[in-house]
Amino acid sequence: MATREEILDKVRATLVDALGVDDDEVTEAATLVDDLGAESIDFLDIVFRLEKNFSIKIPRGELFPENLAADSSFVKDGKVTAEGLAALRTKMPHADIDSLASDPRVENIQSLFTVKMMVNFIAAKLG
Amino acid sequence: MRWFWIDRFTEFESGKKAKAVKNVTLAEEHLHDHFPGFAVMPGSLMIEGMAQTGGILLGEVNQFEHIVILAKVPKVTFHGWVVPGDQIVYTATLINAEVEGGSVEVTAHVGDRLVAEAEIMFVHLDQKDSQFGAINQKNFVFSMNLLGILEVGRAGDGTSTPST
């Protein structure tokens, strides 16, 4: 079984290829959008590469769910509601929902997409 | 001018590899501005040629059921000039073909000289997709009109290229 360090190394290589970033920019805490400059199409590219590099199948929407704020009961006054947070915990067990809960503004949802979240997801997949 | 940046396929191995040629000629208008006194094939149009070669390779996997759109060029390197009189040979290899799209690796050679190489990612778009109407359909370079290149891929002596 791959260690967490080995998974991180492969995730790092994947992001270097997909986003054209430098190795040292890809820390576990780095967010894909704000820190590494990922755009919408990059998420599909990253999923393609992860599937190839780890020889796994990633059902669409599992690693990077879309339309997270689409349900009207999940967002109120620009903030993610308790109901929304609960849904996110179910949908994204690999993400750090606690940090979002501490500042649940809608624009912080994309900060859930971190390198660490990807490593958690792959580690769980590889079991 | 028609937006064809490859002239003919010379090899086509379904789902794996395709080879196409582009003959660069001084009659092409854009070469008179790119650059005055120094005609050189623009790199952007070589990317287009690589994308047309690879996009048709990907589209053919699903019998052109989807419209294939160039989404991203994760990597591209140019190694040298291409000038009028050169024949560029684009060789595309399919890396992956998924429901949502796919990727190819493409090289461009003039003779034995590697002039460019790229990785190109495409996404599929279908008429039922909500974004469909928002996109200028003239940009759909991989839709049916470009398929003619496969059909008319015949050498002057009448032999069929690609040989199938």
Domain layout of chain B by residue ranges: 8-143
* Predicted confidence (pLDDT) per residue in A89-107, tens digit: 999 999 999 999 999 999 9
- Chain A residues touching B102 at Cβ < 8 A: 48
User: Considering the domain B8-143 in this protein, what is its CATH number?
Assistant: 3.10.129.10
Band of the pLDDT at B3, cuts 50, 70, 90? confident
* Predicted confidence (pLDDT) per residue in A50-80, tens digit: 999 999 999 988 999 887 777 788 899 999 9
Q: Which residues contact A15 (CB under 8 A, 6 or more apart)?
A: A21, A26, A32, A36, A46, A115
Assign domain A4-126 to a CATH class: mainly alpha
pTM, full prediction: 0.85
Instruction: Examine the residue annotation and report whether B124 is marked as an active-site residue of this protein.
Output: no
- Chain B residues touching A18 at Cβ < 8 A: 74
Interface test with A, best of B69, B98, B119 (most A CBs within 10 A): B98
CA geometry: angle at B85 spanning B94 and B115, to 5°? 40
* Predicted confidence (pLDDT) per residue in A24-37, tens digit: 999 999 999 999 99
Is pLDDT larger for residue A15 or for residue B164? A15
Interface test with A, best of B58, B69, B72, B122 (most A CBs within 10 A): B72
* Predicted confidence (pLDDT) per residue in A79-88, tens digit: 999 999 999 9
* Predicted confidence (pLDDT) per residue in B90-102, tens digit: 999 999 999 999 9
Q: A52 vs B123: CB contact, 8 Å cut-off?
A: no
d(CA B57, CA B6) in angstroms, rounded, equals: 13
Annotated catalytic residue within B30, B34, B66, B124 = B34
Domain layout of chain A by residue ranges: 4-126
